[in-house]
Structure 1
Amino acid sequence: MMFSVIIPVYNRPEELHELLQSLLKQSFTTFEVVVIEDGSMKDSRAVIDLFKNKLRINYLVQSNTGQGFARNNGMRIAHGDFFIILDSDVILPSDYLLKLSLAIKNRNLDAFGGPDAAAEDFSALQKAMDFAMTSFWTTGGIRGKVKDPAKYQARGFNMGVSRKVYEATGGFLDPDQGEDIEWSIRIKKAGFKLELISEAFVYHKRKNTLRSFAKQAFSFGRNRVNVSRFHPGAIQVVHWLPTLFLLFTLSILVSFFANRLLFLLGLSIFLLWSSGVIITSAIKNSSIKVGILSWITSVSQLWSYGLGLPLELMAKVRKG
């Protein structure tokens, strides 16, 4: 099996350097790299020059189309049997491709998705953002722990498809609006086997600020509605939980003026949840600071996603 590692990049040569450096360390070496420069003002030519004699790299420069279409263009020129799709802000453990090759062969997979994690040397905020995106207390841990293949949907920062899947389904339909979730659903509807490979994790080195992290979560909520344009059943009960969390926290404020007993009950539940977040993260990361930051990122993630989904749904209804 030969892998083609597909990496769209937009104004992030430093990130690309770290990712390519981790590809150099892979124990499984039968792969090529396809880097798609998606209309960057700050290109990665200098980085490519550093690695072109160390890795088999195909560097495609194009006008900006969005990462979904950039990935399609990368797969179009790739030579591998299986395409590994990564975001530029991830770093790979040295056995990442080896674990993929074994799982794909042993489980006869046509496509896969993998989880993300925080490395030990990540900043406190990066570890807190990772916790907010992967914890039981926020997302239920569904990004990396889904046991039912029928319910699993791969994410574009760490996913892959066989050449057969790409040729049969045509790749991503949207440039950057829940395109990975939409394609996951379409892949399974086409009869292909897509599952989570939980051991094939990547270190997701997010460069977000708290503000941009909240903005991204808001977009995720909106994107779920966009996916429902193609797949009407894409919005399920679980996707409304962040909105319920937002309404619950707002109701605590309202009940302070309306009913003190309800206020105390709601506040107690919120404090129990908050304690669970802080303690779990602090123990996991051996840091009270990360625990407190995890509470901030968790609330921000839930509120933002919980607001984005209904607002986009109302906008969709108004448009007819």
Structure 2
Amino acid sequence: MKYYKYSIIIPSYNRADEIKELLQSLAGLEFPLERFEIIIADDGSTDNTPQIVEQARHQYPFDLKYFTQSNQGPGAARNLGMQKAEGDFFIFVDSDVTVPATWLANIDKALHQEKADAFGGPDTYRKDFPALLKAINYSMTSFLTTGGLRGKKGKKLAKFYPRSFNMGLSRELWQKIGGFSSLRHGQDIEFSNRIINSGARVIFVHDAPVYHKRRTSLRRFFKQVFNWGVARVNLYKMDRRMLELVHVLPAIATLIVILIALLAVFWQPAKVVFLAGLALGALLLLISMIDAVFMYKELKPALYLPVVIPFQIFGYGLGFIYNFIRRVLLKKGAKVGFQKNYYK
């Protein structure tokens, strides 16, 4: 059996604290040191990321490399990492994740057993995450919410696209399809679409999760999902196969709610429908809250869901509607959504 050497590529921009925590978790991997390298692809950080990396070099035994460039976006940073990588297989993780000790071993096992060219893995939570992050994790991953529409192997609601927080491909496949595009949002979907269209064997490694911290405030979370709605229309304009019915449902729901709410002001039947819709929404939220309590074995994350779930659905829906009007109806150029102070 051929043994792969893995290049774990981490794009970063002013995320020194996250990099420190991620490297600490990577130091705990139960995997031969000679079979992986870690590459920090810095996109022009102005914080103390170089110092954190240098400290880690002296603290941990793994092969750690650091490369930097002027600020060009995460896709360009990942491309820099691949250009500098020495591995047979490239693995991407975001700076806001940590990994369990068996993460890389499980990826290696699955790739060899299934003779795969590329993979994607799930994201989940750590028990020490704050209640808000657990609520966001629930909304993003639960099948009861739109998180269940993101697509996994074996589920038919949406095509499975590996995501850049936990995905990888072989060096040979990279040489065939090229690197990430210049898209600011949705670039991992576009990259995965090219992987799939190449005929590569793509697998979902269910037992190789990463612990994903995501956004740390409701404001950041809203910006993130709004941008995803915007990005989905941009992806549709690039290749119509990247838009499925499930991707449009939050926008349809948003439009229906807005329309009925406006009609309810002066039309009694619409008011009845609106109140019935509120009751149904409340019931679904209650079911989600109960499910979250069983999932987390605590109450506090569930108490955030009446805010987090509407933020996700309507944030994404508004972003999709906004960019659909611009790009499809008005035929204007691409739009990236929230960009200024995106990470603040």
So what's the TM-score if we normalise by structure 1?
0.95
Q: Is the 8 A contact 2:42 2:67 kept in 1?
A: yes
Partner of 1:185: 193
278, 282, 285: which one aligns with 2:289: 278
Q: Structure 1 vs Structure 2: percent identity of aligned residues?
A: 39
* Alignment RMSD: 1.8
Q: Is the 8 A contact 2:139 2:147 kept in 1?
A: no
Query: Which whole-Å CA distance do the structure 1 matches of 2:237 and 2:46 have between them?
Result: 33
Q: 1:172 to 1:80 in 2, by over 3 A?
A: same
Q: Cα distance, 1:293 vs. partner?
A: 0.7
50, 58, 63: which one aligns with 1:45: 50
Query: Which whole-Å CA distance do the structure 2 matches of 1:251 and 1:229 have between them?
Result: 27
> Partner of 2:154: helix, strand, or coil?
coil
* Residue identity opposite 1:240 in structure 2: V
Partner of 2:132: 125
Q: 1:32 to 1:13 in 2, by over 3 A?
A: same
Q: Is the 8 A contact 1:144 1:196 kept in 2?
A: no
Q: Is the 8 A contact 1:221 1:309 kept in 2?
A: yes
324, 327, 331: which one aligns with 1:316: 327
Q: Cα distance, 1:75 vs. partner?
A: 0.5
Query: Which whole-Å CA distance do the structure 2 matches of 1:130 and 1:144 have between them?
Result: 15
Unaligned runs of 5+ in 2: 333-344
Q: 1:271 to 1:148 in 2, by over 3 A?
A: closer
Partner of 2:298: 287
260, 263, 269: which one aligns with 2:274: 263
Partner of 1:227: 235
Query: Which whole-Å CA distance do the structure 2 matches of 1:222 and 1:137 have between them?
Result: 23
Q: Cα distance, 1:272 vs. partner?
A: 1.3
Q: Is the 8 A contact 1:67 1:175 kept in 2?
A: no
User: How many positions carry a matched residue from both structures?
Assistant: 320
Query: More displaced, 246-255 or 27-36?
Result: 246-255
The superposition leaves residues 200-254 of structure 1 with CA deviations (integer Å, 9 ceiling, x where unpaired) of 1100012421011001000001111111232122111101111122234335534
Partner of 1:237: 245
Unaligned runs of 5+ in 1: none
Partner of 2:184: 176
Q: Cα distance, 1:57 vs. partner?
A: 1.1
Q: Cα distance, 1:97 vs. partner?
A: 0.1
So what's the TM-score if we normalise by structure 2?
0.88
The superposition leaves residues 164-190 of structure 1 with CA deviations (integer Å, 9 ceiling, x where unpaired) of 111111111124221100011111111
Query: Which whole-Å CA distance do the structure 1 matches of 2:241 and 2:150 have between them?
Result: 19
87, 90, 95: which one aligns with 1:83: 90
Query: More displaced, 69-78 or 240-249?
Result: 240-249
Query: More displaced, 190-199 or 213-222?
Result: 190-199
* Residue identity opposite 2:223 in structure 1: K
> Partner of 1:64: helix, strand, or coil?
coil
Q: Is the 8 A contact 1:138 1:298 kept in 2?
A: yes
10, 14, 19: which one aligns with 1:11: 14
Q: 1:106 to 1:241 in 2, by over 3 A?
A: same
> Partner of 1:141: helix, strand, or coil?
helix
The superposition leaves residues 94-117 of structure 1 with CA deviations (integer Å, 9 ceiling, x where unpaired) of 000000000011111111111110
Query: Which whole-Å CA distance do the structure 2 matches of 1:217 and 1:250 have between them?
Result: 18
Q: Is the 8 A contact 1:154 1:184 kept in 2?
A: yes
Q: 1:45 to 1:213 in 2, by over 3 A?
A: same
* Residue identity opposite 1:38 in structure 2: D
Query: More displaced, 167-176 or 2-11?
Result: 167-176
Partner of 1:103: 110
User: 1:177-216 to 2 correspondence within 5 Å?
Assistant: 177-216=185-224
Query: Which whole-Å CA distance do the structure 2 matches of 1:151 and 1:117 have between them?
Result: 20
Q: Is the 8 A contact 1:118 1:204 kept in 2?
A: yes
> Partner of 2:54: helix, strand, or coil?
helix
Query: Which whole-Å CA distance do the structure 2 matches of 1:194 and 1:174 have between them?
Result: 23
Q: Is the 8 A contact 1:5 1:32 kept in 2?
A: yes
